[in-house]
Chains A and B, each alone.
Chain A
Amino acid sequence: MRVIEGYYLPPRLRGLCKEVRAQVYNGITLHLPVVTKGLVQEVVKGLREARERYLARLPISHIVGVLDEASRWWLKEDYPLRQEALAVIPAITGLSRAVVKASIDAEMESSLSEDIWQALHSELGNPHYLDGFQYCSELAGHRRAYGPGLLIAIFSGNIPALPHLLFMRSALVKAACLGKMAAGEPAFTPLYLRTIEAIDPQMAEAMAALYWPGGEAEIEEALFKEADAVVIFGGVEACQGILARVPRDKKIICHSHRIGFGFIGRGALRKEAIPRLAEGVAYDHAMFDQHACLAPQAYFVEEGGEVTPQVFAQAVAEAMGVWEERMPRGRISRGEAAAIHQLRARYELGGERMLFTPNKGTAWTVAYEEAPPSFTSSPLNRFVRIWGVKEIFASLPLIRPLVPFLQNAAVAIGDEREGEFIARLGELGVSRVTSPGQMPLPSMMWRHDGIATLASLLRWCDVEKKEL
């Protein structure tokens, strides 16, 4: 049986962990430290010291260089830690190896130096504000940005290679960071932090990843008290529960569960464009098995184009079959399978609807119907819903009740209405508009959930002093 470490402590702090317990996940044994309030207090003390000693003094260009190097290592097929991740994450998460591979590639390809510099420029104007006072012409004076001393992150979910983004952000703002791993995917982050350690061990001294069961209020409250900033990922209710325990004077960023939609207008439904468009829509559902907040809950497709929504649904079904070959759907629970079987029955027996499925099993489903009067959520796991609308703007009232949860929208209207349509989505609260086939692939420049994630962590000092 394979044994891996489900946590990361930098070498200097490893001795703090006195007791390790083993947790078995589908043939993988994870070693997890027994986490106590005393342990986390010692750990964050060590992380802060390392930050003051080294990370806080590093030039941003060095930090970007290390992060870029780490991404490049992870993109190499034969990198041993990547191999290890590909061996264990599928077993732990249930996702197929091909999906895990695709998600690591997607995350790392968008985490190279060019992306990082662009993200810094886009949020800060001048990344060197992080290094020292820089002249700012708008201010007509000098300005500097300071990151938090200690950032605590609470992760959730099973999407591999996502928490590493937060460790990148914390490093960029020169913050020490302790992340609480998600029970659903505790393997990737420790491996990633070992890469940072291999490239620049002193930088890794300010990073740690631990796991403790949710609701350990004593541990979390001790950490929140120590923290300067707290970043939370999780379910809507879980986030609210955690938020209530974070003291008011901390910087807080909260990414709770969200949903996405696709919108295809009649102008985009040209015959010759269908195969590519269908493949893109299928990819949006296949990636991460539709578990990510980036994934679509449904695609609204407008009538009156060269191709009808029904025919388009069939094309998407063919593409889903192709994606299943390339990148199979993962294991699902019995409850998830039940939800798929039962919802399929609604489409098969519910009148003017269409259903496409493989011959056996629940690997993918494409269902067509006229857009229903009110929203119900998808069972996910590659369940594609194509919702026909007479006019694409008629889709907006249906998503209006979901405003607090809206995140990602794929839009291909295909005519002059597109600008107006995107404007309406923006007003409703959508924080990213992209093309079909690009939903799972946000850039590092994207302001995640509408938040400037780097800038929001900073404190500024402006020198407006005038020489007499």
Chain B
Amino acid sequence: MKGLPKEIAALDEEILAFIHQGVEHRDEDTFNRLALKAFALQFRLLSPYREYCARRGVTPERISSWEEIPPLPTEAFKVAEISLFPQLAARTFMTSGTTRGEERGRVTYDQGGLALMDATIDVAAASYLFPEGGRYLIFIIAPPPALAPHMVMAYGMERLRSRFGLPESRFLVSENGFQIDLLVDALHRAEAEEIPTAIFGGSFGFVNFFDYCRQVGIRFSLPPGSRCLDAGGFKGRSREVTREEFLVLCEEFLGVPNPFCVNLLGMTELASQFYDNTIYNRYKGLDLPRRKTNPPWTRTLVVDPETLEPLPPGEEGFLRHFDLANRGHCCAIQTDDLGFLWEGGFEVLGRATGGEGRGCSLTIDEMTRIAK
């Protein structure tokens, strides 16, 4: 297989070096320079994106800041091949598609792009999830990559397991579903042997586990240093709980205190991930509110839902992410997640919904529900 062009490999080297500088700096100039370089490349190599930018009057020559880079809406990944080197695909991830027959977004990674993603996973987790170092017993309430080859969360968690996990660490969702008994046994053992444990998984998997524990009357008191990492929301696969309730449940059923429970915002369209800052803050002795953190190779803006113009901190709008590790597809991604910027991080409030019950025409949501 032909490798990546030299110029690309050289850019990847620069981005990799930037990621490996860790999370303790805010090098704006380098970020901006690399973002513009990646944009110029994506503009040149992705013809649908080039036309998209041209219609907005944006070319690499005309802009000087990453904030001016036109973001692609997530929907773009459902209708177009957004990949610089589809012929060099090393991995393809797909969005989950929540309703019947819904098309799924596709994001393809070449080898260099995958190496960038791997680096973001390693560096971000080493800072925001396991800053104290060491290895943990990791149990993952999600399917392993072999069962879910297109699920980016499975890929990321496998990477975490291999980098930070003790040998007995494992995935707990098989073809037959969530192996809840295995988790119960493993947690009893971890408790008895006082091995710090990390539980990862979809948010709904945790809630279903807590509901099970309540039903059968078990509670754990995991050893100090144990932690929880949840991602992905509930998606109708468990009951919905608020973040506050979720944290109470982690403490109640696992004995994992509030700061050691972090939520991760990850998206198929993004190579990087955004962690809650609580483990990091505690480790650094910082007294700051719980927020999602941008590692230095990413930026997040909040934009006005109507005009898509950036909003000042504190105002609610749609999150727009910039991720240098997205070199292989598109660094700027426009989501329809609602959130706001605040004190060096951001908060995500969930998908924007609405429009039900206005007129008397059949709505998208109504149509979807009836079709089910």
The residues of A with any CB-CB pair to B shorter than 8 Å are: 93-94, 156-159, 162, 183-184, 233, 235-237, 255, 257-260, 288-293, 295, 297, 332-339, 341-346, 348-351, 360-362, 376-381, 405
Contacts and interface: CB of A to CB of B under 8 A. Distances in A.
Given A337-B305, A341-B334, A346-B75, A377 B367 contact: yes
Given A235-B366, A337-B306, A345 B75 contact: yes
A338 B305 contact: yes
A135 to B, nearest CB: 41
B73 interface: yes
A297 B363 CA distance: 10
A378 B367 CA distance: 10
Q: Which interface residue of B73, B307, B308 has the most chain A CB atoms within 10 A?
A: B73
A156 B357 contact: yes
B251 interface: no
B90 to A, nearest CB: 23
Interface in B72-90: 72-76, 78-80, 82
Contacts of A157: 357-360
A124 to B, nearest CB: 26
A112 to B, nearest CB: 24
B100 to A, nearest CB: 12
A233 B359 CA distance: 11
B362 A257 contact: yes
B256 to A, nearest CB: 34
A345 B73 contact: yes
Contacts, number: 145
B361 A293 contact: yes
B361 A290 contact: yes
B361 A257 contact: yes
18 contacts: A93-B358, A156-B357, A157-B360, A292-B359, A333-B352, A334-B316, A334-B354, A336-B355, A338-B305, A339-B336, A339-B355, A341-B308, A345-B76, A345-B79, A349-B82, A351-B79, A361-B306, A377-B362
A184 B362 contact: no
Contacts of B370: 236-237
Nearest to B369: A237
Contacts of B317: 334
Interface centre among B74, B317, B334, B363 (most CB of A within 10 A): B363
Given A260-B361, A334-B317, A337-B305, 8 more contacts: A94-B358, A157-B359, A257-B360, A257-B363, A257-B366, A291-B360, A334-B352, A346-B76
Nearest to A374: B101
Nearest to A379: B364
B361 A235 contact: no
B340 to A, nearest CB: 12
Among A237, A258, A297, A348, which residue has the most Cβ atoms of chain B within 10 A?
A: A348
B336 A338 contact: yes
A233 B75 CA distance: 34
A349 B75 CA distance: 9
Contacts of B308: 341
Contacts of A336: 354-355
Contacts of A291: 358-361
A379 B359 CA distance: 12
A348 B362 CA distance: 25
B75 A335 contact: no
Interface string B330-370: 00001010100000000000011111111111111011011
B135 to A, nearest CB: 42
A183 B358 CA distance: 9
